[in-house]
Structure 1
Amino acid sequence: MAILWAPAVAGAAGVAAAAAASATRRRIGRNGVAAAAVDEGGGKRRRQRLLDLVGRVPGAATNYFRSPWRRALFGGISLLGGFFVAQTISLSFGAVGVNDVIASALCVLLTEYMTRFYFTRQRPSLGVALLNNFKMGFTYGLFIDAFKLAS
C-alpha cells in the first residue's frame, strides 16, 4: 500500500489516474494536498504491522548491542540478577528448611548445564554470554551466602 501525495490543483490528475486504478480512498486536506492510498500488491493480503514490528526486533537488538558499553551494562545487570536470584533461593529454602537437598541439586545441575552450554560454542552469542554472566552471579551469590552462614 503506497501513499501518493500531490498538490490538489497542479498534479491532482496524476494522483487521480493512479488512484483510479486500484485506490482504496482519496482525501484532500486543508492545505490543498491530495493523498491517495494505492494497493500495489495486486489484491494480495499484506502482512500485518505487528508481524513487521516483530520481524524488525532482532536487527534492532543487534544494532543496539553493537556498543561495548551497552554490552557491559547488560552483562553487569545479568551478573547482579544472578546474584539476586541466588540470594532469594538461599533465603527461601533456608528459612523453610524443607527440600534443601533437592534445591541445591537443581542449582548445581543448572549451573553445570549453563557452563557446558557456554563452552561448547565456538563463539558464544550475546544471549549465551549474558546467560553465562547470570550463572557467574548465581554462583557468587551462593558462595557469599555460604560464607555468611559459616560465620
Structure 2
Amino acid sequence: MQNTRLNNLFNVLTRRLAEWILNPWRRISILIISFLLGFFLGSAVATTAGQTAEWDIVVAGTLVLATEIASRIFYNRSVLARQVFWVQAINYLKVGLTYSLFLEAFKLGS
C-alpha cells in the first residue's frame, strides 16, 4: 500500500486502540458491555418477533444460525487464538443473547 495520510491515520488509530484495549479494566468493561448488549438484543428480538407471529420461525432460524457461527468462530481456534479480543467479545455477545432468550422463555412459561 502507498504511504498516504489516510493510511497513516488508520494505522495510528488502530495502534492506539490496540494499546487502549490492553488495559485489563478496559478489556473487562468492554466484554461486560458486550454481554449486556447481547442480553438487550435477545430481549428486543424476542419482544419484536413475538408481536407478529409470522416471523417467529425466520427469527428463530436466524438466531440459531448466528449463534452457531459465533460458536464455530470461538471453538475452532486454539487456546491462544481464543484470547483475541474480538473473538472473546463475540462469544460474550452470544452468551448474553442465549441467556436472555432462556429468560424470555421462562417468563412465557414454555
Q: CA deviation at 1:129?
A: 0.6
Q: CA deviation at 1:57?
A: 2.0
Instruction: List runs of 5+ in structure 2 lacking aligned partners.
Output: none
Q: CA deviation at 1:49?
A: 2.8
Q: CA deviation at 1:109?
A: 1.4
TM-score (norm 1): 0.66
Larger relative contact order, structure 1 or 2 (CA cutoff 8 Å, min sep 6):
2
Paired residues in the alignment total 106
Q: Over aligned residues, Cα RMSD in angstroms?
A: 1.6
1:70 maps to 2:26: yes
2:72 maps to amino acid: R
Instruction: Provide the rounded CA distance (Å) in 1 between the counterparts of 2:99 and 2:52.
Output: 22
Alignment identity in percent?
A: 32
- Structure label with greater radius of gyration: 1
Runs of 4+ in 1 over 4 A off after TM superposition: none
Instruction: Provide the rounded CA distance (Å) in 2 between the counterparts of 1:109 and 1:143.
Output: 17
Aligned runs of 1:125-136 on 2, under 5 Å? Answer: 125-136=84-95
Other-structure match for 2:97: 138
Other-structure match for 1:111: 67
Higher helix share: 2
1:128 maps to amino acid: V
1:93 maps to 2:49: yes
Q: CA deviation at 1:113?
A: 1.2
